[in-house]
Amino acid sequence: QVQLVESGGGLVKAGGSLRLSCAASGRIFSINTMGWYRQAPGKQREVVAEISRGGSTNYEDSVKGRFTISRDNAKNTVYLQMNSLKPEDTAVYYCNAGLILAATLSLGEYWGQGTQVTVSS
């Protein structure tokens, strides 16, 4: 059984910072792209940032220059450093990973349970 466990959410004032972490565990052969998504109340889930196994990154336009995604392949962990937070960043943040299972060598997409980020004005 594969699990993605997120941590690091919370309440912060505008202009503050938070760091999210997401660790994948289980019988994993390898992890391809990892990413962070968010969903605000009444809105669709949207991609925030993605990172390939080799370290190539993509960011949603509104977070460019403020958020940084990184990963530690040895620890099967992805991070999201969020600086200069704004109230509009308030959402539930979800970790996502495309990974290959060790038992079957099949590719699957997995999600974390979500962590709340609230930015007050």
Mean pLDDT of the chain: 96
Residue 1 pLDDT > 90: no
| Residue 49 confidence (pLDDT) | 98
User: Could you tell me the pLDDT band of residue 14, with boundaries at 50, 70 and 90?
Assistant: very high
pLDDT, mean of residues 9-38: 97
| 86-92 mean pLDDT | 98
SS (H, E, C) the chain: CCEEEEECCEEEECCCCEEEEEEEECCEEEEEEEEEEEECCCCCCEEEEEECCCCCEEECHHHCCCEEEEEEHHHCEEEEEECCCCHHHCEEEEEEEEEEECCCCCEEEEECCCEEEEEEC
Between 105 and 52, the more confident residue is: 52
